[in-house]
Structure 1
Amino acid sequence: MSLVGIIANPASGKDIRRVVARGLTVPDHEKINILRRMLVGINALGVDAIRWLPDSAGLVERAASGLQLGADARALDQDITNSALDTEAAAAGLRDRGAGCIVVLGGDGTCRAAAKGAGATPLLPISTGTNNAFPQFIEGTLAGLAAAVVARSTAGEQDRAAFATQQPWLRIIREGVPVDVALIDVVSFEGMVGAKAVWQMERVRQLLSVRHQPGTIGLSAVAGYLGLTPPDQPAGLAITLAPNASADGSRQVLAPIAPGVVEPVTVNAYRWLTHGTGERIAHAPCVLALDGERELPVRTGMLVDVQFDRFGPWVVDVERALQLGVQGGLFDPTQLQRL
């Protein structure tokens, strides 16, 4: 049975960066429009079933209202806590049900929670968050078509590279025990702030990132705009920051750390990370921000390492997936009826 899962976060695109920066606001009605177009695309290619995470705003239910869907389309039977645990549990449940693809509508935080539960099930992340380092802006109809192609694909795990790419991520290890992951970056942040989002760079002491190319926005942009060439791909980058430009041997880089916010950042040192290598968090007490959100407190004397892992979540390449569908006859109505 071909199954597409959908996880849509009604809270994404609404955090404090709309106040302190100039982040994009994505209202519920636009999310519903994206989801509606996505459902049309999924349904067009004859997927057997669609399951989604129920949410407080009823986004997918409202998007599906009035559509004549041939697929068995309904919400997952899941208790809701209105936290990231819902996303992680839904992704794990969809994985266990044999979903061929999980579409995630949200920001980096939503995608991180989904990746933790999805295992090897390919994700198709659509951006409705703030910094959008991991998910991308993808037209809903094309996303739905691509998700349907992936769900109907007969390619086994060894052939998943035909339509998806395995992304690296960062593992957080506390006292020798893995406790969490980050899709893009981990930042050690001195002090506390009233909001979960982090943007005050003068309090950042360490930054570890899987991204180090221009074109990013957010905390990982510091790595992206240094102009460094990694020794091997994939590789991570560990950066030590200085509170001011007077530090010996330091250099400054202008980085877009939030939408509409470009600031000079002082880099004291950097080191490349290969698979299985990492960096210890040296400045405690602090709080670790994972993909831009404060998550883990680090107390004095606590041993916390951040390790680069090249074998993270699988992410659908929409263009390659659609090409695979064309080659497989899914866009030929006569062949589609026989498949």
Structure 2
Amino acid sequence: RHSRLFVVCDLVLEETPPGGRGGQGDDRDNRRHRLALVGIVANPAASKDIRRLVAQGRVVPDWEKVNIVRRALLGLQSVGVDRVLAMPDSSHLVQRAADDPHLSVEVELLRMTALFNEGDTVRAAAAMADEGVNCVITLGGDGTNRAVAKGSRDMAMVAISTGTNNVFPVMVEGTTAGMAAGLVASGTVPMEDATVRSKTLAVMVDGEDRDIALVDVALSKERFVATRAIWDMNTIYEVFLTRAEPSSIGLSSIGARLEAVSLTDGGGLHYRIADLRQEEEEGRPHPNPPPEGEGTKDSEAEIYVRAPIAPGSVPVVGIESWQRLADGQRVTVEQRHSTVALDGERSFSVNPDNLLEIEVRRDGPPVVSVDAALRHAAAAGVFRV
């Protein structure tokens, strides 16, 4: 059996008639669980790209991902989830996690042909939605969650960060993540009390929707996709964000130095990075350059900001221009040779003949707040025994 993680559990809460079956226990004990559909997607490739070589990015080994999944399964089990549907992956993460004497959760594999690429996640998410899954636990980075969102934007997501420069997923204990997912999936905690509808950046080429991003769209001067992961800031010249979080790392952190934009805030942010090579080519010194060796000095920069663009790297970045974007606002991008990077990875190339447009939309998947879900459940007395 393979794994690439999806959990399907269905808990239905039906009150038994007064007296219950044989009059045993109170109403809480006499509830019968309907199947609550929960999904889990674990990406074994997260945190293993080139950024481990060019920056101080952390590596999350497979054994740690297995431990996180196991704790999530135990959390699901503790709130009554008893069935899991897993997507196949190359490292068999969920089967390894399920091999535990303390687990009684039934783990099943999604019936699909695994190619062990991003398409697996997209197809699996779509299949899970068709099966009625209404909550998914993901292990990965922004790119992993983007792939799930491409498959379905209807399932609520509990996103656990195991990648690099992540904004969409968060660092959260697997046990509590599993508990929150189970509570939301079963309806014990109403969706509206524990989730926020996320935003997307719709990428349109020649008037047609081409792709989406959950956090950022970056335009690179590189003409080819190559290694995909963005690691050289000298190649980036324009960025669009749904979120600009001051505590994040990467392109979002640069935007946050201009104006913070959270998950709940409307709209997004758009900025252009000053051409890092222009001053060298034209020989024009900047009248007020940043400190020597701490970033680029470009005469086109309107403002300089210091931001952590990668783990262990906090340079000064020159900003040519920037603007706040409203929900539904569409921006037409300068037509030139470039590659379009979505949530940290170069995805496709465009040329001067292509019309490229970016639009902020509030149509992403609902994001579960683990804290809000557990707080609501505690206040309702769900955990009293």
Q: Does TM-score exceed 0.5, indicating one fold?
A: yes
Q: Please tell me the residue identity of whatever aligns with 1:211.
A: R
- Paired residue type of 1:239: Y
Match of 1:5 in 2: 39
Aligned to 2:251, the other structure's residue is in SS state: coil
* 2:132 paired residue number: 98
Match of 2:213 in 1: 182
Greater mean deviation of Cα atoms: 220-229 or 138-147: 220-229
Q: Residue 258 of structure 2 aligns to a residue in which SS?
A: coil
The alpha-carbon deviation at position 121 of structure 1 amounts to 0.9
> Equivalents in 2 of 1:154, 1:330: separation in Å?
8
Q: What does 1:36-51 align with in structure 2 at a 5 Å threshold?
A: 36-51=70-85
2:225·2:348 contact (CA, 8 Å) conserved in 1? no
The CA distance in 1 between the partners of 2:272 and 2:131, in whole Å, is 43
Q: What corresponds to 1:20 in structure 2?
A: 54
The whole-number CA distance in structure 1 between the counterparts of 2:246 and 2:235 is 23
| Residue among 296, 301, 304 paired with 1:252 | 304
1:173 aligned to 198, 204, 207, which one? 204
Of 334, 345, 348, the match for 1:296: 348
Q: How does 1:302-317 map to 2 (within 5 A)?
A: 302-317=354-369
For residues 1-339 of structure 1, the aligned pairs below 5 Å read 1-153=35-187, 160-191=191-222, 192=224, 194-227=226-259, 233-244=265-276, 245-248=297-300, 250-333=302-385
Higher strand share: 1
Partner of 1:2, secondary structure, is coil
3-state SS, counterpart of residue 301 of structure 1: coil
Deviations 1:9-34 (A, max 9, x none): 11101111010000010000101111
Distance in 1, Cα, partners of 2:256 & 2:209: 27
Query: 2:321 and 2:243 mapped to 1: Cα distance?
Result: 17
Query: Once structures 1 and 2 are overlaid, which stretch shifts more, 263-272 or 17-26?
Result: 263-272
Output one character per residue of 1:140-196: Cα deviation in whole Å (capped at 9) or x when no partner. 1111111110111167xxx52211111111010111111111111111100247522
The CA distance in 2 between the partners of 1:228 and 1:62, in whole Å, is 40
Displacement over 4 Å in runs of 4+: 227-230
Instruction: Give the CA deviation at 1:116.
Output: 1.4
Question: What secondary structure does 1:134 align onto?
Answer: coil
For normalisation by structure 2, the TM-score amounts to: 0.81
Unpaired runs of at least 5, structure 1:
334-339
RMSD of the alignment, in Å? 2.0
In structure 2, C-alpha distance between the alignment counterparts of 1:312 and 1:193, rounded to whole Å: 25
| Residues 193, 309 of structure 1: alpha-carbon distance in 2 compared, 3 angstrom cutoff | closer
Q: What letter is aligned with 1:289?
A: A
For residues 63-117 of structure 1, give each alpha carbon's deviation from its aligned partner in whole angstroms, at most 9, with x where no partner exists.
0013454443211111101111111111111111111310000111111101111
Residues 275 and 300 of structure 2 are in contact (CA less than 8 Å); yes or no, is this contact kept in structure 1?
no
Distance (whole Å) between structure 2 residues aligned to residue 151 and residue 310 of structure 1: 22
- Distance in 2, Cα, partners of 1:101 & 1:69: 20
| TM superposition shift of 1:283 | 4.7
> Is contact 1:115-1:123 (8 Å) kept?
no
Secondary structure in 2 matching 1:258? coil
Aligned mates of 1:283, 1:250 — CA distance in 2 = 22
Q: Which amino acid aligns with 1:129?
A: G
